[in-house]
Amino acid sequence: MTEKTEAAFSQNDAFLEEKAFKSRTVLLFGEINNILAFNIVKQLVALSDESSAPINFLLCSPGGHVESGDVIHDVIRFIEAPVNMIGSGWVGSAAVNVFLSVPKERRFCLANTRFLIHQPSGGIGGKATDIEIQAKEIILIRERIALLISNGTGQPLEKVREDIERDFWMPAKSAIDYGLVSRVITSQKDLT
């Protein structure tokens, strides 16, 4: 790629970011990590500071780092502007934690969205005592995730614990029945 082409792409990205900001839309696509979380939180804080009008949050993610998802979840609950959460493509793992950060009446998805809930996994390694500490932490995180899903969906905690033992996939209709989503939308007009 030439410097001229790179400059054109950079200009185009800045233009699109400005348009998204003006439309009060946050886009979270891809794996959730600390860098992505920082950028998302920055946008949320700036949008909430600018106005108390609703923010539309479009989410398509396989999940990622649990604590990075937690910071997005917590900041969405912390800011004053209400957030409309819109799932698209797939919303999995830690992305479900982000999705559940808003009240059920503000949780929407597009028709072809799929949801995935499951227990956390970790890259355990090191000395035996470190592995034991990490295993205990994963069990604590699993319980916290189960409680978050139970509270956010109205499902009994024991059912959620069973459901997250293995990958539990839900298309849009099943996610509505489960309590993850309030309704499927097909247009921005459906948000009003």
Domains of the chain: 26-187 (3.90.226.10)
* Predicted pLDDT of residue 8: 58
- How many Cβ atoms sit within 10 Å of the Cβ of residue 189? 7
Which residues carry out catalysis?
93, 118
| pLDDT in 10s for each residue of the chain, 192 residues | 667 666 655 666 777 778 878 899 999 999 999 999 999 999 999 999 999 999 999 999 999 999 999 999 999 999 999 999 999 999 999 999 999 999 999 999 999 999 999 988 766 667 888 878 888 888 899 999 999 999 999 999 999 999 999 999 999 999 999 999 999 999 999 997
Kindly report the three-state secondary structure assignment for every residue of 63-98: CECHHHHHHHHHHHHHCCCCEEEEEEEEEECHHHHH
Residue 176 DSSP label: H
Task: List, as one string, the DSSP characters of 112-161.
Answer: T-EEEE--------SSHHHHHHHHHHHHHHHHHHHHHHHHHH---HHHHH
